Structure 1
Amino acid sequence: MAKKFTLYMVRHGQTYFNIYNKLQGWSNSPLTEKGIQNAVDTGEKLANVKFAAAYCSDTTRAMDTIQTILDKNQVSDVNQPITSMHFREEFYGYYEGTDMDQAWYLAGAPHGLPTFKDIVAEYSIGKAKDFLKDADPFHQAENNEEYWERVDAGFDLIKQNPDISDGDNVLLVSHGNTLLSVVERYGNGQFDISERPANGSLTKLEFDGDDAKITAYNEK
């Protein structure tokens, strides 16, 4: 039976790679002191929201963030998250750990679009993924189709969880580009995806069976 529930998607706390402006898709960079505080602050804001389940990627930045949020929660029976590689950030292939602006320049410049924002304004975030895979000398970065095949499998994991009932809330600690990608796909153009979601910010995705829509983006 189709279920209606709200997915509370939180961006992980600030990491060292965030400070250094490096792409950190499947790479791992630890939370900074500020990043730990991001998680604490978000945990306090969500302390009285009852979650039926919690999910995150298998990266330490996501796992550390969600554990802090769950530890702060006063009303949920969920003590630990379900971790899965399906919830990882986009895989940037050869450009993992590269300066973000340089990587997107190499992806977009052959198309006359030297920045990530330029690519998105002209085409889409999905097209940016395709361009990055094309620019990757190993062609191992995820293109848009490969990315969504993986992330959709993660959403299916959540939808199939028997512990989630109609009207429930579910917590997911996610990643910057993934949140932008989800908002582009399910936001009906109502949100400004030229603004990156802040570390620790909240984005809400309402599922109703196979339908989904964004109801809040980048709430701090």
Structure 2
Amino acid sequence: MINIIYRKKEIWILLTIYLTRHGLTEWNVNRRMQGWGNGELTEKGISDAKALGKRLKEVPIDKVYSSSSKRAFETAKYIIGDRELSLIQMDDLREINFGDWDGRIREEIEAEYPDEFKVFWETPHLFNRNSGETFEHVRKRAIRSLQHIIEENKEGTVLIVTHSIFLRVLMTYIKDIPLSDVFKSTPPGNTSLFKIEMTDGELKLIFENDMQHVE
């Protein structure tokens, strides 16, 4: 776990980090594997992003970080709305790279690569193909991106807009659970909200996968 301590005039600094998944896309609807490729936001995806923006309207967000993927960046812009906030794109916040599976329908992949597909979902820590990323690689860049954001924002509140598997992998780090358990938690809904607080250098998950703004 991160163990970074910041002090200022003998007062421990609190950093609040909100995280969310991008809005619903056409690829989500069509059950296409969506990694570094991109499906366009649907009307619901846009509506949900705006609803999350309304929910966070009174939250004093200092900065927004987004995956450089179009669906995440556009979601971030809809959440921000007319607020004057810095929006920073980061490649490290992108979804897992599915390689030659990217953009293909799940059922087609399962039929063509049954063994590898099974490993992906049931024993993700063992997943390794010649195309795309491993979960361990995603975990390393997830931790790297989080550490970078913490270093840049030693206090205040930030929002991170990213992706489903990225969020699940990052949560294994925050919760200190094995990568093999990455798919055992509830899948993050589109625009679902997570909240993390850092006090005295320790990260604490306050809530996760909250969808009350669209329910």
For Structure 1 versus Structure 2, the TM-score category normalised by the shorter chain is 0.7 to 0.9
Using the alignment, how far apart are the partners of 1:181 and 1:187 within structure 2? 10
Question: Could you tell me which residue of structure 2 aligns to residue 27 of structure 1?
Answer: 37
**Conserved? CA contact 2:138–2:166, under 8 Å:** no
Q: CA RMSD in A?
A: 2.7
**Conserved? CA contact 2:197–2:203, under 8 Å:** yes
- Letter matched to residue 203 of structure 2: A
Question: Could you tell me which residue of structure 1 aligns to residue 174 of structure 2?
Answer: 186
What displacement does 1:104 show?
Answer: 5.9
- Letter matched to residue 184 of structure 1: T
Q: 1:23 to 1:185 in 2, by over 3 A?
A: same
Q: Gaps spanning 5+ residues in structure 2: where?
A: 7-12
SS of corresponding position for 2:198? strand
Instruction: Identify the match of residue 147 of structure 1 among 105, 115, 138.
Output: 138
* 1:151-191: CA deviation from partner (whole Å, max 9, x where unpaired): 22211221121xx343x2110011111111122332356x9
Question: Could you tell me which residue of structure 2 aligns to residue 170 of structure 1?
Answer: 158
SS of corresponding position for 1:160? helix
What displacement does 1:144 show?
Answer: 2.5
Using the alignment, how far apart are the partners of 1:212 and 1:106 within structure 2? 41
Q: TM-score, normalised by structure 2?
A: 0.79
What displacement does 1:208 show?
Answer: 4.6
What displacement does 1:192 show?
Answer: 8.6
Instruction: Identify the match of residue 63 of structure 1 among 66, 73, 86.
Output: 73
Question: Could you tell me which residue of structure 1 aligns to residue 25 of structure 2?
Answer: 15
- Quick check: 1:83 aligned with 2:89? yes
Alignment identity in percent?
26
Q: 1:209 to 1:178 in 2, by over 3 A?
A: farther
Q: TM-score, normalised by structure 1?
A: 0.78
Count of residues in correspondence between the two structures: 197
Q: Gaps spanning 5+ residues in structure 1: where?
A: none
Question: Could you tell me which residue of structure 2 aligns to residue 95 of structure 1?
Answer: 101
